[in-house]
Amino acid sequence: MTDSKKKKSKAQTIGRTVAFQTLYQEELNPSSPADVPFDAMWDELFAQYCEEAEVAPSDEQRAAAFNFGRNLFLGVIDRRCDIDAALNNAFDNRTLKHTTPVDRSILRLAAYEMLYVKTPRAIVISEALELGKKFGDKNSRAFLNGVLDQIGKQD
């Protein structure tokens, strides 16, 4: 697809997707809090997202996506214990550690956004379900929807 035919994507969606991917990488390869990987991973993940989604964000959108994604990532890292406690309260018969790394990363990101950023619940759930559709397994969407609905009720 030529640059002139590439579609636009919301900065928040781009930032959220890169934040999720970075959280997932952090889940698989934990680092010390002083060595957060978001900035180092941003360029590669941003370029990959744009290519796969066939989007061409402006410099302004890129900066907004970076800031939004970085704030989400750092917020999840900073409040992980509280987020995990809220998520564990939302489960019926399992705990967060019994979920897949993909679902766990999506849930943490979405829970943080619902509880601390105060993004409207419908937007958070919709975006989380899209991440689950793209990166999760066949059961991810229903699972994510059920847990995030419970988190929304805790709010």
pLDDT digit string, tens, across residues 22-35: 999 888 887 655 56
| Domains and their CATH numbers in the chain | 8-70 (no CATH), 79-155 (1.10.940.10)
pTM of the predicted model, to two decimals? Answer: 0.88
Nearest to 85 by CA among 24, 154, 21, 32: 154
Residues 6+ apart with CB under 8 A from 15: 64, 65, 66, 67, 68, 69, 70, 72
Per-residue model confidence as pLDDT tens digits over 59-109 = 999 899 999 999 999 999 999 999 999 999 888 777 888 899 999 999 999
d(CA 142, CA 133): 10
| DSSP code of residue 116 | I
